[in-house]
Structure 1
Amino acid sequence: MAVFTSVTLDDLSQWIKQFPLGKALALKGIASGIENSNFFLTTERGEFVLTIFENLDFAQLPFYVQLMRHLAERGVPVPAPVPNDRGELVVALHGKPATIVSKLDGSSQMDPQPVHCAEVGATLAKMHLAGQDFALRQPNLRGLDWWIETVPKVLPFLDADKAALLQSELAFQRAFAGGPVYAELAHGPVHADLFRNNVMFVGERLSGCFDFYFAGWDSWLFDIAVTANDWCIDLDSGRLDHDRVLALTRAYHAVRPFTDAEAQSWQTMLRAAALRFWLSRLYDLHRPREAEMLTPHDPTHFERVLRERIAVPAPDLTA
């Protein structure tokens, strides 16, 4: 949610007339994040979020916006895309794909307790179940194929120890993904980036999940692992907090019970989730794009998380 493409109220004066939102009254860039240009948009009809997509194209975007609409229609608390007067959810702005979605109530919970993790776990399970009948298919664009392609691009920037860890873990995950246990895992649409700053709370009630622009078709267990690696850890050390892990996984399990294959794969998938974000942060740091408000995340954090997941057993998934 950096700002790569500048937008002014004057730019929106004619463009926004195609939406049933009235006049644009205020626009403010959102500084967090590193993929798209995002703005808080105030109109005569309320508060919204405007996103201009910097990497995704018009052919890829229907998956993301239609998934949000699909989930919203099934009662999952996610932003609802606003169609224009031709029913389009993605339209061009400054020559790039753009969309407007509803703004969620609440604020992010950056110091989560078990009660918050339980809310996230239950909501994630409902999201997975609600996505079962979603018709569109698109792979996780930051999945294994991207890891294989990207590791050689960052290796020249790493010392021998980090390079060895990255290559070793990639080999481990490739072997696992080609094995029989992985083939038994339940798959479907996943959020794939459900970090603390992508969830809103009003008090202890989860009021919404947003930023679906890393979503794709992947194992549900990978989605849970990505979530646990952010919501359920000590940020300084990367260690899992058992109480928060158990709160998240038990709440998920109560809505959609885990399978034997998922229980068997839990530790490996936590490692996969750590690898994915270590690698993407290495790439963003060493191969950056220009942006007005871009601050790359520190790759060292997820290096620590990966080393922890390799060294320390996680709480049992069905405990």
Structure 2
Amino acid sequence: MAVYTHVPAEEMEALLARYDAGTLVSAKGIAEGVENSNYLVDTSSHRFILTLYEKRVDVADLPFFLSLLDHLADKGLPVPRALRDRQGVQLQTVSGRPACLIEFLNGVSVTHPTPAQAHATGVALGRMHAALADFGGQRANALGPDGWVALAARCGDDLDAIAPSLKARVSEELAYLADNWPGELPHSVVHADLFPDNVLMLGDEVSGVIDFYFAAREVRAWDVAVTHTAWCFENDGTGFDHNRAAALIAGYDAAFGLSSAERAAFPALARGASLRFLLTRAWDWLNTPADALVTRKDPLAFLRRLDFYRDAVPGALGL
């Protein structure tokens, strides 16, 4: 989440008037994340999230995202729906951007997860994969293996401005993954971004899963690997926590489960997950507008993860 587009109070009031949502009391921009503009909106009767979709989100993909949220909510998963106005419309236009008014879910995003919270997240991810077995939506993963090659090329020599020889290290990893990517594993629609700030917790229970705007059809176990990279290290990419990792995998196994082939491929999947976030963070680091209300994230935190997975064996990962 972030704020790139500023919405005048008058326009926000006009939007709320289309819903049975009460009158505007306050609206505060949310700085976390890098993708869309988000506001926490309080009215006389409700609390909402207003999301404005920025340039990285293709408007043509929005029906996929909205139908995905509806599908998961219908299955009883704790995901926030995009609300429909009195005319039944979910997708609006606010300050020249496509936008949705989204249900607010109670809970907090933890900074230092416990093994119990990691276990609950694994369960939630497994339940999500089970619920998506009959979801027919299709969206290609623009940030899969082909996308990494393209993004690395766009970053080019500027990678070395982030860290010496980073361009060469990225090229080495791209070559490895081109030869070792387990694309034959089962595919599914995946969340693809299940970081702690996209999971809401009440104590040790998951109360919400949010921000599905990278969701796509991809190797299903890659979603577990993405979550593993996000939950099992300190924020700077050091301090791998084996207990957290084992709890996450145990939770996933309890709700859905990894096959023996997926476990064997897990180091390569985790290397792919680490490279994906290294590259997108590098791009954002190099290109975030100076006046954007957004917190830039350190690309090198995922270089450290990548180096860890390069030297790891499945047994060391909590599998």
TM-score tier after normalising by the smaller chain length: over 0.9
* Residue 265 of structure 1 pairs with residue 265 of structure 2: yes
The residue that corresponds to 1:232 in the other structure is 232
Give the secondary-structure state (helix, strand or coil) at the position aligned to 1:18: coil
Q: C-alpha displacement at 1:291, in angstroms?
A: 4.6
The residue that corresponds to 1:84 in the other structure is 85
Of the structure 1 ranges 262-271 and 292-301, higher mean CA displacement relative to structure 2 is found in 292-301
- Partners of 2:248 and 2:87 lie apart in 1 by 41
The residue that corresponds to 2:302 in the other structure is 302
Q: C-alpha displacement at 1:79, in angstroms?
A: 0.9
TM-score, length-scaled by structure 1: 0.93
For this pair of structures, how many residues does the alignment match? Answer: 315
- Over 3 Å counting, the alpha-carbon distance change for 1:74 and 1:237 in structure 2 is closer
- Over 3 Å counting, the alpha-carbon distance change for 1:198 and 1:314 in structure 2 is same
Of the structure 1 ranges 40-49 and 271-280, higher mean CA displacement relative to structure 2 is found in 40-49
1:165 paired residue among 164, 169, 193: 169
Q: C-alpha displacement at 1:259, in angstroms?
A: 1.5
Give the secondary-structure state (helix, strand or coil) at the position aligned to 1:151: helix
Of the structure 1 ranges 70-79 and 82-91, higher mean CA displacement relative to structure 2 is found in 82-91
Answer whether contact 2:50 2:100 (CA < 8 A) is retained: yes
Give the secondary-structure state (helix, strand or coil) at the position aligned to 2:119: helix
Residues 150-229 of structure 1 aligned to structure 2 (within 5 Å): 150-159=151-160, 161-177=165-181, 181-183=182-184, 185-229=185-229
- Partners of 1:116 and 1:300 lie apart in 2 by 25
The residue that corresponds to 1:142 in the other structure is 143
User: Partner amino acid for 1:107?
Assistant: V
Answer whether contact 1:58 1:90 (CA < 8 A) is retained: no
Q: C-alpha displacement at 1:317, in angstroms?
A: 7.0
Answer whether contact 1:139 1:217 (CA < 8 A) is retained: yes
- Over 3 Å counting, the alpha-carbon distance change for 1:216 and 1:7 in structure 2 is same
The residue that corresponds to 1:71 in the other structure is 72
- Partners of 1:62 and 1:291 lie apart in 2 by 30
Give the secondary-structure state (helix, strand or coil) at the position aligned to 1:284: helix
Q: Which runs of 5+ in 2 are unaligned?
A: none
User: Partner amino acid for 1:125?
Assistant: G
* Residue 46 of structure 1 pairs with residue 46 of structure 2: yes
- Partners of 1:291 and 1:219 lie apart in 2 by 37
Give the secondary-structure state (helix, strand or coil) at the position aligned to 1:278: helix
Q: Which runs of 5+ in 1 are unaligned?
A: none
TM-score, length-scaled by structure 2: 0.93
- Partners of 1:316 and 1:19 lie apart in 2 by 51
- Partners of 2:51 and 2:315 lie apart in 1 by 38
Q: C-alpha displacement at 1:45, in angstroms?
A: 3.1
- Partners of 2:77 and 2:290 lie apart in 1 by 35
Of the structure 1 ranges 47-56 and 309-318, higher mean CA displacement relative to structure 2 is found in 309-318
The residue that corresponds to 1:19 in the other structure is 19
Answer whether contact 1:258 1:318 (CA < 8 A) is retained: no
The residue that corresponds to 1:276 in the other structure is 276
What is the RMSD computed on CA atoms of the aligned residues?
1.7
Q: C-alpha displacement at 1:173, in angstroms?
A: 1.6
- Over 3 Å counting, the alpha-carbon distance change for 1:89 and 1:149 in structure 2 is same
Answer whether contact 2:267 2:312 (CA < 8 A) is retained: no
Give the secondary-structure state (helix, strand or coil) at the position aligned to 2:315: coil
The residue that corresponds to 1:34 in the other structure is 34
The residue that corresponds to 1:61 in the other structure is 62
Q: C-alpha displacement at 1:236, in angstroms?
A: 4.3
The residue that corresponds to 1:112 in the other structure is 113
Q: C-alpha displacement at 1:75, in angstroms?
A: 0.9
Q: C-alpha displacement at 1:262, in angstroms?
A: 0.5
- Partners of 2:76 and 2:316 lie apart in 1 by 30
Answer whether contact 1:26 1:41 (CA < 8 A) is retained: yes
